[in-house]
Amino acid sequence: MPEHITLTVGTARISALTQTGSTSGLPLLVCVPGGSYTSGYFDVPGHSLFTAAAERGFPIVALDRPGYGGSDPLTEVSFAGNAEVLTDTIADLWTQQDEHCPGVVLVGHSMGGAIAVHIAAGPRTWPLLGISINAIHVVPPQAVTDAWQAIPRGTSIEFTSEDRARFMYGPEGTHDPAVLKAAEPACAPIPVDELYEVIEGWPRDFARLAPAVNVPVHYGLAEHEGLWNSTPESIAAFAAAFAAAPQVTAHTINNSGHNVDHHYAGRAFHSEQLDWAAGLSRS
């Protein structure tokens, strides 16, 4: 069962869910959730990456980003600031791993994927084996841009269940409608500044950061993505930006919406992520 922990990083507190592994030689999975979700995003009953990881013996941690869960907020909200604090948090987690753990694989969902790219492109004191990111891109539909820009900066908002159904879940038949209720304990207010950054600053930063990522990249974007344009061409263009990565795997996640983990396709996607991560430990 996952355990709630709190880490102290400098003067900041970072909360997390953690679960030990049972199989030697597998990487530590460090999961970074997206906007409006705590670490519990990765452990929704019936849709849990923690459960899938336990079945395979992986050690896994899901972090509450600054300002979420029990984690202290940043003085100024930014993906770069998130990355700086979480890089130091992972350094602390790494000191607790046994000698048979080969390194860290970052798993980033949505804004968590953007932050994973920031982390992978920056300096660190721990071994990063690769990043598995999904539900992130740089080209949003105009309706999404308009919706976010209509909200005043400097506040936090809570998405309604109708908002989540519209933007984060695919059409009828791709998910159990009950999952929205099951995921409610993981829902949290989102700083509006994150919404502005993901449509304004992040696309500019990505052009600079992606070519600096020099570890393998596993990438997927949902067929019924509500927050990004998810054509095969847009997926290929995003993947091609990782010019220095020794390996890039990119594809459409069929029969899914933005919150891939919570769809019927999520189980197969978890298996794919874990297969990929296990392969890195043997490289």
CATH value at residue 93: 3.40.50.1820
Tell me: pLDDT of 283 over 90. no
Tell me: pLDDT of 281 over 80. no
Tell me: pLDDT of 162 over 90. yes
Residue 40, amino acid? G
Arithmetic mean of pLDDT over the chain: 96
Question: Residue 177 burial by CB count (10 A; 0-12/13-18/19+): exposed, middle or buried?
Answer: exposed
Average pLDDT over residues 242-270: 98
Cα separation, 157 vs 100, whole angstroms: 43
Tell me: pLDDT of 197 over 90. yes
User: Tell me, what's the pLDDT at 90?
Assistant: 98
Average pLDDT over residues 22-38: 96
User: Tell me, what's the pLDDT at 1?
Assistant: 82
Average pLDDT over residues 54-83: 97
Domain count for the chain, please give it.
Answer: 1
**Which domain covers residue 33, as residue numbers?**
3-281
Cα separation, 66 vs 126, whole angstroms: 21
Using the structure block, give the residue that is written with the tokens 């990438």.
219
User: Tell me, what's the pLDDT at 99?
Assistant: 84
Element (H, E) at 204: helix 201-209
Tokens read off for 43: 């452990």
Cα separation, 198 vs 151, whole angstroms: 14
Average pLDDT over residues 90-119: 95
Pair 9, 263: CB distance under 8 Å: no
Q: Read off the DSSP letter of residue 46.
A: T
